[in-house]
């Protein structure tokens, strides 16, 4: 195992003033346990302060630093140099922004545009159960919670949306579907009709090809395709009919 690697980054950059897209090659020495966000910072400090990229918590909890490395969407704050070399079998990495929204600059995409698809499914409880009085907590049983708790771990990093192979341009995407399904499974949500309309709309779950690409790349290890499959099987339609 090396303690220092000679790393080559081929970074897809975009200059919004000139409307020009190009690849910039950076070479750097990197310790084995540095993360890709550390390497971007190293480039800013030692080689090129103009390289633009995004991060916030840098602990895999906010989904801000999502990028594509050799085609795979992932969180730059979770990718260690030694793991990247081992996983991809190379010290040369092509780094690109996620393709989920227009690029603003270099690795920074217009996340507000991407969030418009999430907003369409109303990622909150629209109508809480009347059983929940303001002063009391609503108790969800462990059996109920077990059915959907994994889906609540989504951080909206959009890695699944970037990996999604659906050929339908209007498909709301795996994380938007998940955001709606998790509220359908939440016993506190009473507004099922509106949710089902979006879920089974022309841009909803039937646009999914069940490829599981979304589950494969999810950094929170959520089996997104499983939840979408439940909806495709009509699991939630039955709930409405009852
Ligand atoms: S489901 Fe996973 S990959 Fe998709 S946005 Fe949520 S955390 Fe990211
Ligand atoms: S399983 Fe469906 S949502 Fe997930 S990547 Fe494939 S087509 Fe997209």
Domain holding 168: CATH number?
Answer: 1.10.1060.10
Structural domain total, the chain: 2
- 224 alpha carbon to ligand 1 midpoint, in Å? 8
Measuring from atom 5 of ligand 2, which residue has the nearest CA? 164
- 216 alpha carbon to ligand 2 midpoint, in Å? 10
pLDDT band at 138 (very low <50, low <70, confident <90, very high): confident
Beta strands in the chain (DSSP E): 4-15, 20-31, 66-69, 72-75, 92-96, 103-105, 108-109
CATH number at residue 20: 3.10.20.30
The residue among 51, 79, 109 that closes a domain is 109
Query: Does the pLDDT value for residue 70 go beyond 90?
Result: yes
Are 88 and 171 contained in the same domain? no
Residue-number span of the structural domain to which 103 is assigned:
4-109
Q: Say if residues 114 and 158 touch (Cβ distance below 8 Å).
A: yes
Distance CA 156, CA 144 (A): 23
Provide the pLDDT for residue 129: 85
Measuring from atom 6 of ligand 1, which residue has the nearest CA? 154
The mean predicted confidence, pLDDT, of the chain is 94
Q: Is 77 in the pocket of ligand 2 (CB under 6 A)?
A: no
Q: Is 204 in the pocket of ligand 2 (CB under 6 A)?
A: no
| Ligand 2 nearest-atom number relative to CA 224 | 4
> In angstroms, what CA-CA distances link 72 with 3, 90, 97, 141, 208?
25, 14, 11, 37, 19
Q: Is 225 in the pocket of ligand 1 (CB under 6 A)?
A: no
pLDDT band at 22 (very low <50, low <70, confident <90, very high): very high
Helices and strands counted in the chain (H then E):
10, 7
| Ligand 2 nearest-atom number relative to CA 166 | 7
Query: Does the pLDDT value for residue 52 go beyond 80?
Result: yes
- 139 alpha carbon to ligand 1 midpoint, in Å? 26
Taking residues 220-241, report their average pLDDT: 85
Taking residues 204-232, report their average pLDDT: 97
Provide the pLDDT for residue 77: 98
Q: Which two tokens stand for residue 180?
A: 């709606």
Query: Does the pLDDT value for residue 225 go beyond 70?
Result: yes
Measuring from atom 4 of ligand 1, which residue has the nearest CA? 160
Burial of 130 (0-12, 13-18, 19+ CB in 10 A): exposed
Distance CA 178, CA 223 (A): 10
Distance CA 232, CA 240 (A): 15
User: Closest by alpha carbon to 86, among 33, 37, 39?
Assistant: 33
Are 80 and 163 contained in the same domain? no
Query: Does the pLDDT value for residue 179 go beyond 50?
Result: yes
Are 125 and 236 contained in the same domain? yes
Are 62 and 79 contained in the same domain? yes
Are 90 and 164 contained in the same domain? no
Measuring from atom 2 of ligand 2, which residue has the nearest CA? 208
Task: Look at 160 and 234; give whichever has higher pLDDT.
Answer: 160
Contacts of 234 (CB under 8 A, 6+ apart): none
Torsion angles phi and psi, residue 76, rounded to 5: -65, -25
Taking residues 168-177, report their average pLDDT: 96
Taking residues 179-185, report their average pLDDT: 96
- 176 alpha carbon to ligand 1 midpoint, in Å? 9
Q: Is 225 in the pocket of ligand 2 (CB under 6 A)?
A: yes
Are 85 and 117 contained in the same domain? no
């Amino acid at each position: 195992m090396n303690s220092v690697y000679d790393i080559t980054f081929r970074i897809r950059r975009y200059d919004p003033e000139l409307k020009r897209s190009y690849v910039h090659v950076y070479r750097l020495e990197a310790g084995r346990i540095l993360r890709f966000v550390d390497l971007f910072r190293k480039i800013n400090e030692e080689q090129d302060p103009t390289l633009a990229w995004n991060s916030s918590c840098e602990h895999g909890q906010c989904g801000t630093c999502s990028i594509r490395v050799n085609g795979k969407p992932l969180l730059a704050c979770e990718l260690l140099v030694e793991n990247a070399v081992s996983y991809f079998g190379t010290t040369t990495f092509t780094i690109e922004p996620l393709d989920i929204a227009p690029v603003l600059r270099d690795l920074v995409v217009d996340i507000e545009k991407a969030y418009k698809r999430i907003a369409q499914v109303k990622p909150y409880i629209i109508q809480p159960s009347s059983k929940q009085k303001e002063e009391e907590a609503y108790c969800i049983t462990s059996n109920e919670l077990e059915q959907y708790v994994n889906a609540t771990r989504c951080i909206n990093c959009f890695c699944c949306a970037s990996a999604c192979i659906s050929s339908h341009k209007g498909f709301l995407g795996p994380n938007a579907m998940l955001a709606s399904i998790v509220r359908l499974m939440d016993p506190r949500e009473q507004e099922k009709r509106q949710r089902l309309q979006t879920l089974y709309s022309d841009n909803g779950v039937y646009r999914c090809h069940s490829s599981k690409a979304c589950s494969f790349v999810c950094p929170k290890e959520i089996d997104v395709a499983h939840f979408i499959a439940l909806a495709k099987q009509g699991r939630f339609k039955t709930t409405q009919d009852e």
